[in-house]
Every structure is written in structure tokens, then in C-alpha cells.
Structure 1
Amino acid sequence: MMDRAEAVATETHDPDLERLRAYLEANNGIRGLEILERRDARHAVEIFNRDGFVVVADVLDSGQVEFLANGCAEVAGQILALDEGRRGNRGSHRYSFGGSSLTRSQLHRPEWQMLLDIPVVTEVVSGIFGSPNYVLRAASGDFCLPGAVEYQPLHSDVRDWRDDATTPFSAFHDPRGQLTIRDLPCPYVCVNFLPQDVTRLNGPTRQIPGTQHARTPIPTLAEEPEWMRLSTVCPAPAGAIMVRDVRAWHGGTPNVSDAIRSIPNLEFYAPWFREPIVPGISYDDYRKLSEHAQRLVRHCVADSSQPLVTGATLRAP
């Protein structure tokens, strides 16, 4: 297993790195970031609808945090064994848990399966969709290493329909050209789980509030104003969740700490929205889940006659 406190790849006495570290320590983070308590599920839905994301603390207990952190470290170790140069698959020193899996998901892992039965998540996501009849898209997330010193460009994780030659993972299309996916109620939610504190220095996600319905072009790194680069969801404690409307603009930021930052996730489609789903759990493992979890993952189950081939890859098929 990889050491979860892998050393910083860049020389710590690099003056440019030291200046960046000091600047982020002094300025990084959304001012007035509201972190809710578990009992505030209704308020969480209100903030989510306003900002396109919300943070709720103390969702995982200490045992669950440790179990999830160890699972993330084990999976990260398998991925990093394939990438000695740390080129990453989401930029240098930056990796997708799903994009680094042969199944495009980590749903075959017990640590991610555990997350299916967290009551606060059920309550918040049901509130967002106005129904408990949503389904799992995938179990994924990302991690970044010390030495990830570049900003990831702002982006959105869902878009209007593109032809199958471009991508198999798109669905919404208005032939009249009047509506885009940004005009709809939230179609697709990502719930990130924090197995460690997220700080100003270890690569917090930057979120641009209220952009889930924005039709304006997403700025490039060259165009992005400094306040957006500092609009990061931190500090946030281990055990918290960050619930995101994937249409909202977001991106990765530098990890200038001395440890890996992981944010595993579950991704859910609204009851009325679907895009193609790749099987992520074997039929035998599916049968071991709770009734609630089985209902969520029913579209992610491999055929009972076929084994699910799992493993690490730097480029998902």
C-alpha cells in the first residue's frame, strides 16, 4: 500500500512554491463558507439550489472515515504503481478514481459500497430531487498528490447531447434549440466524501457559486479572475460531505501540502434523467447490499452470467 503521506515531489525550498504556499495560506477559501450540521438537511437543499453546492459536516463517523481513507490509499497506490512519472489522468499529479478503473467506477470496492447507506446523504439527495427514486450513476471521485501545483481549468461535468462519435455519455437535446441542460432542474448530483480535512493547502475544490444555470462561456485559466481561483471549499473537516450540482463551474487547485488529498464520491441521476451507465458491481456483490443500496445501484449491475473485470488503469476504456 502506498504511504498516504507521500513526500512532496517539488523541492520544498523552491521560492516560487514557498510564495504560492504563503499566498494560499493567507487568501484561499470562500469567505463566509457555511458548513451545516447533519440535522440541517432542509437548509442544505436551499443552499444547494442557490449556490450549486453545499457542505455538511459529521456525516461519517471516525470509523467510517478511517475505513474510507484506507480504501482510497489502497486504490491510489494501485494507480500510482502504473505512473511513476506522476503524469496523472486529470493533469500532472491529479487522478480520477473512476477514470483510473477498468469499470469507470469503484463500486466494486467495499469502501464505496459503504457510502450507499449513509442516512444524511439519502435525506439531502432526496430533498434535492424531490423524490427518493434517484439512481446511482457511478462511484468515483479524485485525488491529487503533493506536487500538483497547477490549477485545473474550470469545467462542468455534464453537457448537452453530443453525437456518439464524440462521447457516449451525453443525453439532453432540445431540437428547438430553446433549452439547454442548464435550464432544467438539477439532473445530476455528485456527493464527495472527505476522508481527511480539506485545507487551504492540500488542493481544495474551487466552486463558483451560482453558475449551475449560467449560459456564459466558462473562462479559461488565462481569463479566470483571481477571486475565482481563491473560491475554494475550505477549510472543511474529515467526515463531511460536499454535495455538488455537476453543472456548476469547478476545478482542481494546487496541493502544496505534504499529503495526498482524496475526495471519493457517489454520483446520482435524478429520477427523470439518464445517460448511459457502465456496470460497476458484480451480481454476487449486488446481492449482498442492503435493499436500499440495491435500489440505488440497480442500473450498475453486471449480468449474472459475466464476471466483472476490475483493476487499475491510467486511461478508462
Structure 2
Amino acid sequence: MSLQSDRHLLMAGHPAEREAAELRAYLDSCTGIRGLEILEPGELERAVALFRRDGFVVIANVLDKEQTAFLATGCCAVANDVLALDERRGGNRGSHRYSFGGSSLTRSQLHRPEWQMLLNLPFVDELVTAIFGSPNFALRAASGDFCLPGAIEYQPLHSDVSDWVSAVRSPFSSFVDPRGIVTIRDLPCPYVCVNFLPQDVTRLNGPTRQIPGTQHSRLAIPSLEDEPEWMRLSTVCPAPAGAIMVRDVRAWHGGTPNVSDTMRSIPNLEFYAPWFTEPTVPGISFQDHQRLSPRAQYLTRYCVADSSVELRTGATLFAP
């Protein structure tokens, strides 16, 4: 199966072909954060400063060519397994848009060697240590997302973490102030997401839009109907393959149209601060965990299944 076929299936002879062409031209000329800084691994202090100011930062050349190619191959393999279950491309994060975690029976891709490789990148360890002020952080999950050609709709702006409400409404949340005074947005960063770029992220292949400085905002996140144009164009691009995008998960962000001819994927690792934890789901078997490096074993200490449990892995459209 070709991942490049979806856009052509959508466009060819479609009544909205002209609108799609206009969208492509518009994004090609307008989208992208002006003055976006792409740092290098040697700029650690600057990276931490930008992260704390904007709620995200981009650093190039973290993965070498071999690591980038290995990760890209793994993303395509997972995507093919998921797409085999979804001929209509309905997605699980909107049409033609998928979560790697939400497409796994374990809610994670930690069982795959491509994601395990990411646990052993020295600069990532160094940067997350600097952000938290301690090396004693822990992995939450190994996930990310991918979008196909044909994902022509915007994903609503959202935040990846919220205060606990109830076991039904917020099963993966933990923070709550019973006085109603402090919210999770008033705290230091509780956990970070490190997205890895196995391909260039361009204006046309569904770059993530990030709204700078919103990680502490208590304002209501605008709906798609109310979102101003400048926010829709606040996309993190262009960014090169081999780079990472490190995000404070509280900052407002969302997906954008992929009007290119190829899939865009951004696999990730998510790390809890040393002082913060929420309910986790095992993502790696005890046996595979034993084969990781000592540092990777420590980072994944909350994600390993009991030695008596046989971990079921595989693709699904909607994880339990």
C-alpha cells in the first residue's frame, strides 16, 4: 500500500479540488511562525530559555541520518498496520489523522525498537534534565501522531493535560486543588513531550501549530470557529528531519492540513517531572525491559509490565 495515494484519491475529480488547491497555495505562502529559531544541540541554555518562554523549542541534528531513517521506517510500519484497519481513513484524531499511542493496544509504542532507540539519545537526556533540574524524571509513554495526505481539516487547539475532575471524565489526570485556587497551569512544567522528526516538516505536510506562551494561560482555548487567523498560521515549520520539538504539554497546539503527497509523522517520548506522576499503562514487557540500557530501564520504570504478565501488543483504531 502506498501512503502517498490518499491525497490523490481525495483530489482527483473531487468537487472541492479547487478549494484544496487554494488552501495549498495559501499555506505555502502564509503559514509558519515568523522568526522561528532552530537551535543546535550545543545551545542548551538557550533551548531551556525558549522552552520556558514559549512552551516549546526546536533543536536540529539530534538524530543522525541512520537513526532518522530507522525511525522513519518504524513509523511507516506502524502506520501501515493501523491503516489496514481503516480503509476509509476516518482516523482516530480526525479524518486522515492518527495517534500512535491511540492506535496501540498498550497506548504506547514502547515495545518497538525504533521508540526504544530514542531513550538512549544523550542530548535529549541532557535537555530534559536541564528543564526539570534533575535527572530523576520518568517516561510516561512513547507515542506521537501521524497524518496522511488528505488531512485537510484543522484539528482544534487543545492542551494535553488537565486538572483531575473524576475517574470517568479525566482517568489519566491526577492534579487537583480542592480549594479551587491553584490549577495545573500555575505549576512548573509537570511533563514534557519530545517529538522527533523522521522527515522534514514543511508548510504543506501538516506542521503542528503552537501558540507561544500559552502554557500558563487560564483563558478558554478558542474553538475552530473563534480561532483567529494568526493562530492558524502559527505553525512550527520549516523544520528539518533529525530535529526534535520539545513541548510543555499545557501549551495550546493542534494539527493542520496535510496537502502534500507524503505522510507526516512525529513520534514522541513523554516524560514526567520528578515530582509529578499520573496513572500509566504498561507499554513494555518485563523481558524486553531487561534488555534496555540501565538508563532506559530507569526512565521506563513506571511503564514495564509485571514479569507474570504477557503484554499484548498490536494495532487498533481506538486503544482501550
Length-normalised TM-score, structure 1 = 0.98
Q: In the TM superposition, what whole-angstrom CA distance separates every residue of 1:252-286 from its partner, at most 9, and x where no partner exists?
A: 00000000000000001000001001000001110
The answer for the alignment partner of 2:4 in structure 1 is: 5
Q: Does 1:251 align with 2:254?
A: yes
Deviations 1:96-117 (A, max 9, x none): 0000000000000000000001
Query: Does the CA-based 8 Å contact 1:12-1:18 persist in structure 2?
Result: no
1:280 aligns with 2:270: no
Residues 288-310 of structure 1: per-residue CA shift (max 9 Å, x gap): 10011000001100011111100
Query: 4+ residue runs of structure 1 moved beyond 6 angstroms?
Result: none
Alignment partner of 2:309 out of 271, 289, 306: 306
Task: Map 1:1-317 onto structure 2 (within 5 A).
Answer: 2-8=1-7, 9-11=9-11, 14-317=17-320
Q: Alignment identity in percent? A: 72
- The secondary structure found in structure 1 opposite 2:66 is helix
SS of 2:52's partner is helix
Structure 2: which amino acid aligns with 1:10?
L
Note the C-alpha offset of 1:6. 3.7
> Structure 1: how far apart are the matches of 2:217 and 2:195?
22
TM-score with structure 2 length normalisation?
0.97
Aligned equivalents of 1:166, 1:39: Cα separation in 2: 42
Tell me, in whole angstroms, the C-alpha distance in 1 between the residues paired with 2:288 and 2:213.
39
Shift of 1:313: 0.5
CA–CA distance in structure 2, aligned partners of residues 274 and 83 of structure 1: 34
> Would you say how many aligned residue pairs link Structure 1 and Structure 2?
316
Q: Which runs of 5+ in 1 are unaligned?
A: none
Give the Cα separation in 1 of the matches to 2:4 and 2:197: 16
Give 1:3 shift: 3.2
Tell me, in whole angstroms, the C-alpha distance in 2 between the residues paired with 1:147 and 1:195.
Answer: 20
Give the deviation of 1:12 after TM superposition: 5.5
Check conservation: 1:192, 1:265, Cα contact below 8 A.
yes
CA RMSD of aligned residues (A): 0.9
Q: Is contact 1:188–1:270 with CA below 8 Å preserved after alignment?
A: yes
Alpha-carbon distance change, 59 to 4 in structure 1, aligned in 2, over 3 angstroms: farther
Q: Which amino acid counterpart does residue 39 of structure 1 have in structure 2?
A: G
Question: Cα distance, 1:168 vs. partner?
Answer: 1.5
3-state SS of paired residue (2:270)? strand
